Amino acid sequence: MKLPVPPLLVISDRSQARRPLVEVAEAAFAGGCRWFSLREKDLPAAERGALLAELGALGRRYGATIMAHDDIDAVEATGAAGVHLPGGSDPAPARRRLPEGLIGVSAHSAAEATALLRAGADYVTLSPIFLTDSKPGYGPALGLDALAAAAATAPGPLIALAGITPDNAAQCLAAGASGIAVMGEIMRAADPEAAVRRFLAAIEKK
């Protein structure tokens, strides 16, 4: 399955957001984001499902791909495009439930990324590429050399995650990443639309 274009995955975290999450998402879409995943794991299922439905309706107006982290039930109920699974997950059960869905899984090493892609994931996020304010103490950072080594052997798309900024996004793509994933840089932005545009400009310079 093809990844959304442009290959910029924005992951939600309302605890960091300066505005209501739907407003941040709409600003991101206005800036050119076409790939968004709802990650609010602490929300009650009903609230998370309602938020995913609202994001789905908004995303359709922009032609954006809307996913959820972990919550396959909500994805099925709302008709969202796919699910992103935590590290250590087997993508096969998700594929059975979402045969046409986009399925991603978190990975933290080249070997894990390769195994997940061979098991049927459409893409994996590889992290942490750099240290990140969103998850302080999460590391050590893999760095660009490890990203390049993983991309050279991975049988599918790797999405670089953690500590990605407009200043290093192009380096991640040059190292072999198929795309980049960001959370805090958009959630914390005073102007999420402008922040997305900076990322997309960096992607285009690759």
Report the 3 state secondary structure along the chain: CCCCCCCEEEECCCCCCCCCHHHHHHHHHHCCCCEEEECCCCCCHHHHHHHHHHHHHHHHHHCCEEEEECCHHHHHHHCCCEEEECCCCCHHHHHHHCCCCEEEEEECCHHHHHHHHHCCCCEEEECCCCCCCCCCCCCCCCHHHHHHHHHHHCCCCEEEECCCCCCCHHHHHHCCCCEEEECHHHHCCCCHHHHHHHHHHHHHCC
Other beta carbons less than 10 A from residue 92's beta carbon: 11
The predicted structure's pLDDT at residue 206:
66
What pLDDT was estimated at residue 44?
A: 96
pLDDT for 2 equals: 87
Q: In sequence order, which residues have a C-beta less than 8 Å from that of residue 111 and are 6 or more positions away?
A: none
Alpha-carbon span 196 to 21, nearest angstrom: 15
**Non-local CB neighbours of 88 within 8 Å, separated by 6+ positions:** none
- pTM surpassing 0.75? yes
pLDDT of residue 136: 58
CB atoms within 10 A of CB 168: 17
In the chain, where the domains are located: 8-204
What architecture is the 8-204 domain classified under in CATH?
A: Alpha-Beta Barrel (3.20)
The pLDDT score that the predictor gives to residue 145 is 97
User: Which portions of the chain are predicted below pLDDT 70?
Assistant: 133-139, 206
Three-class SS of 157-204: CEEEECCCCCCCHHHHHHCCCCEEEECHHHHCCCCHHHHHHHHHHHHH
> How many Å apart are CA 188 and CA 170, to the nearest integer?
21
> What is the Cα–Cα distance from 47 to 204, expressed in whole angstroms?
36
